[in-house]
Structure 1
Amino acid sequence: MEKEEIFYELMETLFETSRSISTYESIPRKYGTEDELYMIEAHTLNLIGDKIKTNTTEIAEITHRTKSAVSQMMDKLIKKELAFKYRNPDNYRELTIELTPKGQLVYEYHKKLDKEEFGNYLKDLERFTIEDFQKIITLLNLINERTKSTLHEKA
């Protein structure tokens, strides 16, 4: 098979992976509390938990979403009592976001779940080396950069 054919197969596989992940993310789940959360909500809580304190601008930059979309997400998380926001005492215009104790439970539960799931993946991928993973990361980063560049050109 030629390099071009293999690359097309790779891209089709990436598109299929993207569709599978999108479907998986659309199913609400419980993460250690009675609240049903979509994966994007759990991942947003992870970002907040990893940062300890953050704001909508920072989350928007990390997730490549608009500040408005992040604000709407934060309102949902606040309503579910998973996060709270308050005025930054050093910059009154900025709202700081933190996890509530309930949000911290979700954060810790989700981190543990990820570790278990990733461990299961690793068992299935034992034949691949660290160098293989590094090459895949490099490849995907290049594809992501090109995709982002194309998005910016279209905007």
Structure 2
Amino acid sequence: MKNYERIIKSYFRSVREFNEFESVPRDFGTGDLLYSSEIHTLQVIGNNANINLTELAAKLDISKSGASKFTKKLIEKNLITKSKHLSNKKEVVFNLTEKGLIAYLGHEKFDKEVFASIYKILSRFDEKEKEFLESFLDELVLEVKKLNRK
């Protein structure tokens, strides 16, 4: 039981540290301070040209109203555009602006630099250990989601 407690405490300590890291807004080369939710929204749009709100919300794993809130902020900062889809005039789609592309590429570089140390740790594990870790974390997420529904 003691090992379980230590593992769980270590996991949640890492989550708290990561949440603190993510809570700090950063400039990715445009002069705008972007929160984690904003830059991740920008990343999804950059990876999926002409994405609509429903697809964006699904890829971010958030509600459509949450995705709408993030897109409004990014439009105000001139990082994305909102336009009618060419083949379906009722559908609204989002794309990066030139300024948005700068932030997108800046975040890509930032991710590589920041996560290099974590990738180094993971590189020490063999494939079975990585599969176990991924499986454990996936199951843990499902269990925590169940707790959130109670």
Deviation at 1:90, TM superposition (A): 2.8
1:140 aligns with 2:132: no
Whole-angstrom distance in 2 between the partners of 1:145 and 1:94: 33
1:33 aligns with 2:30: yes
The match for 2:117 is 120
1:58 aligns with 2:27: no
Structure 1 residues 76-116: Cα deviation after superposition (integer angstroms, max 9, x where no partner) = 00000000111123333321111111111111111112112
The match for 1:6 is 3
Q: TM-score, normalised on structure 1?
A: 0.84
Structure 1 residues 21-57: Cα deviation after superposition (integer angstroms, max 9, x where no partner) = 2211111111011111112211111111111221221
Whole-angstrom distance in 1 between the partners of 2:67 and 2:120: 35
Where do 5+ consecutive residues of structure 1 fail to align? none
Match of 2:73 among 76, 89, 96: 76
Whole-angstrom distance in 2 between the partners of 1:6 and 1:91: 56
Deviation at 1:149, TM superposition (A): 4.2
CA change 1:93–1:117 in 2 (3 A) is same
After alignment, is 121-130 or 134-143 more displaced? Answer: 121-130
SS at match of 2:109: helix
Is the CA contact 2:50–2:85 (under 8 Å) kept in the aligned structure 1? no
Whole-angstrom distance in 1 between the partners of 2:126 and 2:145: 29
The match for 1:91 is 88
SS at match of 2:51: coil
SS at match of 2:91: strand
Identity value in percent: 33
What do you get for the CA RMSD once the two structures are aligned? 1.9
Is the CA contact 2:122–2:130 (under 8 Å) kept in the aligned structure 1? no
Letter in 2 for 1:20: E
CA change 1:81–1:131 in 2 (3 A) is same
1:131 aligns with 2:119: no
Whole-angstrom distance in 2 between the partners of 1:94 and 1:9: 50
Where do 5+ consecutive residues of structure 2 fail to align? none
CA change 1:128–1:42 in 2 (3 A) is same
